[in-house]
Structure 1
């Protein structure tokens, strides 16, 4: 019976706040009068039996559990920090997008004696600051898969020839083009959209070919835009 009483005490001391004061005193007195080995299963019950405040028989196991839990949390936090760093490394600077238009004009752009990159100076979006409106050139801030689009629009008089050709260029290489050469239409437009693998520092732009022209774009319909779809990890 004493063994059962002492074993019960080892549990009840842990929940001492919920045990009536008289019952707790009785259990403490009973335990204190015990002269044999305390049946606490390895718990340190001496402090509780001697009436030391703020102590319980489960102190060491609870401390060990707290230490184990803390170390696990430290390990998890370290793992999450490394993962967050890797995510930031992959996605850093990846909010990249731009769109710009040629300023409205009643006359013509061109013709020129050589191919000329078009300066789309009316910029409505330049997230990541990759687009330079003075040069009309987009320089990739981050490697990745990009989408680029451009619209070619021209309007000439009834007696003039619609004679335009524009092309999208990456690092000097022609990627896509749009052209019109006839006297049947006085107004026409077309658009191109391409997906490109682009390395950091690569330059993408639209150029007007030698001898061609864009005319009568009073609404700024000639546009150039691009955005990063997803980044590539840079080594």
Structure 2
């Protein structure tokens, strides 16, 4: 639209200049310099000022668009780097002994205290990492001293750390636990396994399994 107006004004001014040249030739004089009428020249001047202002506005809009895109990229980066909240803590509910079993058995902690992120299953007793990152896990047990107790923290099918106590006739009860930092990939499984021919005592407070995400990549 601006270029159309400019072309029209230029042609109009050119016609006036040509007309002035014809009049000059008819009178027998030659003018070395031609100009628009005062009104037209003033209009051309105002139009030039307007074009400069539009150019400044266009530059400002481009700068604003660039800053907006940079802000959007920064927000997206912050969202990507934001650490999700993944925390769980559960205890073995009920009452009495769990075990001994003939084979190693995954313990299922059904009394869930916290499960933010829903990464722990109270049906299987398995924590499934929802994102890649560094996690921290703890597990504790209580057992009668007359029976052995051996528990091991598992990542997928591999043991990580363990805790336990052998049976004694003079010790009425035993308590133990362990903890570990684990670098997990998404979908990795972490759980606690009770060794064969051992036992732990269950209730809603004393034999527990907990973990949380420290940081993700």
- TM-superposed deviation, 1:213: 0.4
More helix by share: 2
The equivalent of 1:85 in structure 2 is 76
Where in structure 1 are there 5+ consecutive unaligned residues? 1-33, 39-43, 48-56
Query: For the residues of structure 1 that align with 2:155 and 2:117, how far apart are their CA atoms?
Result: 19
Moved over 4 A (4+): 57-62
Please tell me whether Structure 1 or Structure 2 has the larger radius of gyration of its CA atoms: 2
**Partner-residue secondary structure (3-state), 2:63:** helix
Q: Where do residues 160-199 of structure 1 align in structure 2 (5 Å cutoff)?
A: 161-183=146-168, 184-199=170-185
CA contact (8 A) 2:91 2:203 kept: no
Deviations 1:138-177 (A, max 9, x none): 01010000011111112x3xxx614101010001110010
Count of residue pairs brought into register by the alignment = 177
Cα 1:62/1:122, change in 2 over 3 Å: farther
Query: For the residues of structure 1 that align with 2:82 and 2:103, how far apart are their CA atoms?
Result: 39
The correspondence for 1:137, drawn from 111, 116, 126, is: 126
The equivalent of 1:200 in structure 2 is 186
Output the aligned Cα RMSD. 2.5
- TM-superposed deviation, 1:61: 4.4
Query: For the residues of structure 1 that align with 2:164 and 2:126, how far apart are their CA atoms?
Result: 21
- TM-superposed deviation, 1:45: 6.2
**Partner-residue secondary structure (3-state), 2:164:** strand
Query: For the residues of structure 1 that align with 2:204 and 2:112, how far apart are their CA atoms?
Result: 14
Q: Given the alignment of the two structures, is residue 98 of structure 1 paired with residue 88 of structure 2, yes or no? A: yes
The correspondence for 2:135, drawn from 138, 146, 159, is: 146
The equivalent of 2:109 in structure 1 is 120
CA contact (8 A) 1:162 1:187 kept: no
Query: For the residues of structure 2 that align with 1:167 and 1:75, how far apart are their CA atoms?
Result: 55
